[in-house]
Structure 1
Amino acid sequence: MLRSLSNRLIIAISAVVLLLGVLGALLVSRISGLGEITQAILRTNAHSAAAMSKMREAAQAYRLATHTRSRARIATHFVAAWQGFKDDSRGLHVAAERAQVEAAWKAFRHAPDTARLRSLDNALQDLRIVGRTAIAAREHHAIVAIKDLTIFASLGLGASLLVILILSVWMVRLILRPMRQLARGIHDLNPSGTHRELERYGLSEFDDLTREFNGLLRRLDKHERGNTDRLVYENAKIDALINSIDDGLVLLDRQDKILHVNFMAGMLLQTEPGELLGRNINDLNIATRFYMNLRNALVSLRREDQDEPQYSRNEFSLTIRGRLHSYILKTVPFRDKGRSIIGLIVVLQDVTELRHAEHQRTQLLATLSHELKTPLTSLSLSIGTLYETAQQDGYPHQVRQLLEVGKEEVGRLTMLVEDLLDVSRPDAIRTSIELKPLELCEFLRRQAHSFRLQADLQDVDLVVKCLPDVAVNADPVKLGWVFNNLLSNALRHTPLHGQIAVSVSTPNEEEILVEVADTGRGIPPEELPHIFDWFTQGAADRHGSAGMGLAIVREMVEAHGGRITVTSRVNEGTQFRITLPRRMTTGDLPLQPVVPLPARP
């Protein structure tokens, strides 16, 4: 029964109520006795006063009667004396009268009624004294009872307050002890350590709370062990994945202390990864070229921006086991949930095979270009001779027009071969740009004119819409190659009775927008993200295409300081948007080298 806090509270309150009840009963009993004493005193006083009043009335009546009889006798004597006073000798009568009066007074005083009246007065006096004595005794008894009641009430009240105080302190300690124990248990919770369960206190309510809290601790420990196991597993998995890659990886905090090093980075640093953890990357006593390049890159990065390290890229070569290896050193900041930088990721990527493939590709392009240049020269001379003969001998107009188109296409093919030679050399496209003032609308009309005959044969409507007097600084050969490629692709993928529209607009004062739109079969959504990649062929270009056209288009547009985007819907058409600066000088050209062409798979 006493294991419940509520029961203990009920018992304590009941004890206090019982104590107050007993004290109240005793006080009521004492107060009742005091009331009875007071009532007895009042009744005695009332009876005594009534008796004395009646006796006093009787005595007065009796005295009055006695005095009346005495006065009658005295009057008789006085009458007799008065009658004798009327005799001859006045002096004798006066003396005789006086003697009679004295005799009468003595007789009055010694009369039996007078003696009894005096005795009655004495009795009444004694009765008054007894009444006053009785009343005084009753009053004293009442005063004593009141004092006793006051003392009893004071002692009872003090005892009650003392008991209530003791019970209150006991109950407070009884309640606060398990609560403090629970508070200490909550304060001692450690997310990353073990937890000590609380002891049971002996109160059912707090025992229930303690049991639930201990259950929570057990679940927390179980969850913590599960999390620890999962973290160990995830760390092991991440370590295995990181160590399995061929790139070196070093993770640094904001103070350049090493947090993680994978196997490849440790091999390049010629140190066990475990020996590097916690050390400052700038204080390593390592004389490898990789470490020197890494430290120089970090120093340069800190010099450029002390607080906000950004992405950086540095390429260098190392000789490992007698073979020259090419590496790209990249630094990438990593951030917390609040996007604050908390460290730096250093990645050493081995691009040896990529550079080797690029070299082979460059050699292949150079060889193909040289091999194609000789037959193209012969073909150009032959078509030129036929064109001049047709002009002189009056060949039909259609034949002359076809020869003219063939001559232009051979010339364009020759320029393409030359471009391939340029592409085979690093920085070729950007360094070979020759800017000239160009009236864009007239330029686009000339480009579209070379495709007019083919468009008519396919019954495709080829239109050019542009504003007059739109000038741009551009390389007419490179820009012509861009639009020739786009129009050629549009004609190849636009069905009969379709439309190809070339339009020019000025969205703002600094840019010119050229759009080439067709109503062809469109580009599938999965191919759009890779449409400008090198050696990418669409589903409709599996044959007769090397997959370099749009990649070269993008390079040439970006070499002009512009950008190109594409949108397409299957069976509805494709739209290429080229944005060019209105005015551009050679100094505006991008200074960074073009990224070398990736190897063809």
Structure 2
Amino acid sequence: MSAAEKSRGGLLSTRLFLNLVPLVLMLLAVGVYATVLLSWLATSTSVAAMKHYQSVAAAQAMSLSLARMQGGVLLAFEQQRELGQQLFAQNRKLFEHNLAVQQGNITSPEERAWSAQLATNQQSFVEAGTQIFASPQREEQRQCYEARLYPAMTAATLLLEKISRRHHDAILAAEENARHITRRVTHLLLIGLAAALAIASFACYQVSRSILEPVQNLTRATRELGEGQLGQPVPVAPIRELGELAVAFNKMAAQLHAYRQSTTDEILRLHRTMEATLGSFPDPIFVLNPAGRIELTNPAADSLAAALHLGGALPARLQATARHALQTGENFLPASFQEVVSFRLNGEEKFFLPRIVTMRNAEEALLGIAVVLYDVTRFRLLDDAKTNLVGTVSHELKTPLTSLRLALHLLLEKTTGELSGTQSDLLQTARDDAERMLRTLNNLLDLARLDAGSAELNREETTPDELAAGALREMLEAVSASGLRLVALIDPGLPAVSVDRSRISLVFANLITNASKHSPARGEILLRAARTQSGDVQFSVLDEGPGVPEEYRTRIFDRFFRVPGQTKTGAGLGLSIAREIVVAHGGRIGVKPRDGRGSEFYFTLPRVAAVRQHE
């Protein structure tokens, strides 16, 4: 909003002030006028009424005094002269006092003349009464009474009636005047209130038109903004505050529009990039939302779904795994071909290794999962060929090796004659190497059978305590012979597991043997069992050795792999055999650094309930 617009519009407070000033002035004028008038009315009416009431009371008192003075004169006729004189004198004083009061409240010249005449009549009355009291003759008293006293009394009484009536009429007139003034004030107040109401109505209309209309426009624009309509600006109100608010709102809407446009373009670009990226992947990819519905696929997944007639769902063999990943929020990242699924496509057997990765936002809330089916057909065939080759070669080597071992045993038992010391040492070395070769061949045959799935597991339910106790019994002597201590820490209340005891014992033996090879002298190996978050059982073997470098932890369980720089002997098959046995039981195996120094080799076994559910 420009400076000119601001100056024309004015402040909201100024507009409100200008609209309310006439109303305030009107109410103030009416109030002041009514207050002054009512105050004057109250004062004048009170003073006038008091004077008139005093005059009426004085007239009545003088009439009473005249009557009593007359009574005193009449007592003189009854030969009670002293009592009559006393009564006459007392009421004379009262009359004169009330006459003074009446003369002090005279309101007109006519009343002043009446008052003067009343004083004259009162004087004549007093003189006649005095003469009567002084006259000893009754006849003389009667003549004075009739000739002077009674006429003076009658005239005075008439004057008192006139004065009383005049003041009484004045009181009535004052009351009527007060009522008239009250009606005038009432009419004036009504007119003032009507004018104030009209001014207030006009002010409200002006305020509502000046304020409510811009506010309604802003409300409408806000509602449209919430609905995504960013192109409708709000009219700038002439009031400065509302105008500034409208300008700020329009600026915000313009920024939101620009941001949405740029965001939309960015989203479209990212969407096209994502589609192009997914389309370039040769492996099928299914993206599922938290409810388990497929939201996004790539062309390879569409082709697989069409060939298998999936109808918008995952292959049946992957649905349970996907549900588990959605429920637990854990990734499913198999490291061997044990989890490979196969489909017959176009007359050929295709093998896919499923990998499920959870997707989360910045607040770690689950957004869904991505199911990737890696085509491992070629690798599976190569692995099968390798496994078959290793198994065949191992089996073929085992027969001549058995003959060689038998010959060495016979020679060492001196069945063919005595041996020299050198010959005996050479034969002993050859026999040890033959035994080591036999163990290697047996391990290779076990691996071949595990890879081929032909190794049957003789499962039985047992407790983790029993498995740990068996491992301690089998390995305690060998570990002690190496100058190490083997201790166990088993959490109470662990669930039962279903395992092949002989093969799981081999896992314990391989892990503990590996730990004893890399632990320092007089060190400690800890065998621990605990419950995982999912309720399964995790066994751990913790050593105090140098640990496994991070770059080799993913390869430590590969066949024949040995960490570079190690001087310990071994073929590198023990950990591989342990992994295959654990995977065959439906568990997981891994290694992580131990707090401080050493490594922790761990593997998990599903609890009995989970095994039954899987079966």
**Coarse TM-score class (shorter-chain normalised):** 0.5 to 0.7
**Alpha-carbon deviation of 1:18?**
0.5
Q: 2:170 aligns with which of 135, 138, 155?
A: 135
Long gaps (5+) in structure 1: 80-100, 270-285, 453-460, 594-601
Matched-pair contact (CA < 8 Å) for 1:52–1:124: yes
Could you tell me how far 1:568 is from its partner in structure 2? 6.0
What is the match of residue 316 of structure 1?
343
2:235 paired with 1:199: yes
Give the equivalent residue in structure 1 for 2:440.
416
Q: Does structure 1 retain, via aligned residues, the 8 Å contact 2:387–2:452? A: no
Name the structure 2 match of 1:555: 580
Cα 1:525–1:266 shift into 2, 3 Å: closer
Relative to the length of structure 1, the TM-score reads 0.63
Partner of 2:122: 60
Displacement of 1:316 after TM fit? 1.5
For residue 315 of structure 2, the aligned residue among 290, 297, 303 is 297
Distance change >3 Å, CA 6–CA 424, structure 1 → 2: same
SS in 2 for 1:328: strand
Residue by residue over 1:366-389, the C-alpha shift from the partner in whole angstroms, topping out at 9 and shown as x without a partner, is 465367557645643553343123
Establish whether residue 217 from structure 1 lines up as the match of residue 253 from structure 2: yes
Tell me whether 482-491 or 213-222 shows the greater mean CA deviation.
Answer: 482-491
Q: Is the 8 A contact 2:542 2:594 kept in 1?
A: no
User: 1:222-261 residue pairs with structure 2 within 5 A?
Assistant: 222-251=258-287, 259-261=295-297
SS in 2 for 1:530: coil
Matched letter for residue 318 of structure 1: L
Q: CA deviation at 1:144?
A: 3.3
SS of the residue corresponding to residue 558 of structure 2 reads coil
Distance in 2 (alpha carbons) for counterparts of 1:128 and 1:258: 116
Which structure's CA Rg is the greater one? 1
Q: Which amino acid aligns with 2:119?
A: E
Q: AA paired with 1:58?
A: T
Residue pair 1:198, 1:210 contacting (<8 A) in 2 also: yes
C-alpha RMSD of matched pairs (Å): 6.0
Deviation at 1:185, TM superposition (A): 2.6
Amino acid at match of 2:561: T
Once structures 1 and 2 are overlaid, which stretch shifts more, 12-21 or 143-152? 143-152
Matches within 5 A, 1:358-373: 358-366=383-391, 368-369=393-394, 372-373=397-398
Q: Deviations over 1:1-37 (max 9, x none)?
A: 7632212222233222200122134335544664686
Aligned match of 1:393 in 410, 418, 424? 418
Structure 2 counterpart of 1:167, which letter? A
Deviation per CA, 1:105-125: give whole Å up to 9, x if none: 9xx97xxx9999799779958
Q: Structure 1: how far apart are the matches of 2:278 and 2:205?
A: 65
Match of 2:22 in 1: 15
Q: Number of paired residues?
A: 518
Matches within 5 A, 1:267-286: 267-268=303-304
Residues 1:329 and 1:161: Cα distance change in structure 2 (over 3 Å): same
Confirm or deny: 8 A CA contact 1:515 1:578 kept in the other structure.
no
Contact 2:214–2:235 (CA under 8 A) maintained in structure 1: no
Note closer, same or farther for the CA distance 1:345–1:523 as it changes in structure 2 (3 Å cut): closer
- Maintained 8 Å contact 1:331/1:344: no
What is the deviation of 1:243?
1.2
Q: Deviations over 1:166-189 (max 9, x none)?
A: 534654565433333333333333
Alpha-carbon distance in structure 1 between the residues aligned to 2:353 and 2:172: 120
Given residue 61 of structure 1, which amino acid in structure 2 is its aligned partner?
Q
- Cα distance in 2, alignment partners of residues 580 and 36 from structure 1: 108
Equivalent residue in structure 2 for 1:183, among 212, 219, 234: 219
Q: Distance in 2 between matches of 1:466 and 1:331?
A: 37
Please give the residue correspondences for 1:316-395 in structure 2 after superposition, counting only pairs within 5 Å. 316-319=343-346, 324=348, 326-328=350-352, 330=354, 347-366=372-391, 368-369=393-394, 372-373=397-398, 376=401, 379-389=404-414, 393=418, 395=420
1:410 shift after superposition: 0.8
Alignment CA distance shift 1:446-1:69 (3 Å): closer
1:530 maps onto 2:555 in alignment:
yes
Is the contact between residue 561 and residue 590 of structure 1 (CA under 8 Å) also seen in structure 2? no
Deviations 1:391-416 (A, max 9, x none): 962655x9757744642441341242
Distance across 1 between alignment mates of 2:365 and 2:123 = 124
1:456 aligns to what? none
Please give the alpha-carbon distance, in whole angstroms, between the structure 1 residues aligned to 2:595 and 2:342.
42
- Distance in 1, matches of 2:119 and 2:406, equals 179
User: Quick one: distance in 2 between partners of 1:591 and 1:128?
Assistant: 125
- Cα distance in structure 2, aligned partners of 1:313 and 1:10: 83
- 2:187 aligns to what? 151
Matched, 1:208 2:244: yes
CA distance in 2, matches of 1:25, 1:570: 91
**Where does structure 2 lack aligned partners over 5 or more consecutive residues?**
1-7, 56-104, 333-338, 461-466, 489-498
Aligned 8 A contact 2:546 2:598 in 1: yes
Question: Matches of 1:121 and 1:362 in 2, distance apart?
Answer: 158
Equivalent pair of 1:332/1:345 in contact (CA under 8 Å):
yes
Preserved contact between residue 218 and residue 246 of structure 2 (Cα < 8 Å): yes
Shift of 1:65: 3.8
Query: Structure 2 CA distance, aligned partners of 1:253 and 1:266?
Result: 17
Instruction: Return closer, same or farther for 1:34/1:51 CA change in 2, 3 Å cut-off.
Output: farther
CA change 1:520–1:466 in 2 (3 A) is closer
Corresponding letter in the other structure for 2:558: D
The answer to whether residue 218 in structure 2 is matched with residue 160 in structure 1 is: no
- One-letter amino acid matched to 2:34: L
* AA at the equivalent of 1:135: A
Following superposition, the deviation at residue 247 of structure 1 comes to 0.8
Structure 1 487/333 Cα, relative in aligned 2: closer, same or farther at 3 Å? closer
Q: Structure 2-normalised TM-score?
A: 0.62
* 1:272 aligned residue: none
Identity of aligned residues (%): 22
Q: CA, structure 1 residues 256+115, in 2 after alignment: closer, same or farther (shift >3 Å)?
A: closer
Question: 1:383 is matched by which residue type in structure 2?
Answer: L
1:530 and 1:536 in contact (8 A); partners too: yes
Amino acid at match of 1:431: A
Cα distance, 1:122–1:544 mapped onto 2, change above 3 Å: closer
Residues in 2 aligned to 1:590 and 1:5: alpha-carbon distance in whole angstroms: 77
2:353/2:375 contact within 8 Å kept: no
Q: 1:21 to 1:204 in 2, by over 3 A?
A: same
Alpha-carbon spacing, 1:319–1:425, altered in 2? closer, same or farther (3 Å): farther
Q: Residues 318 and 296 (structure 1 numbering): CA distance in 2 closer, same or farther, change over 3 Å? A: same
CA contact (8 A) 1:568 1:574 kept: yes
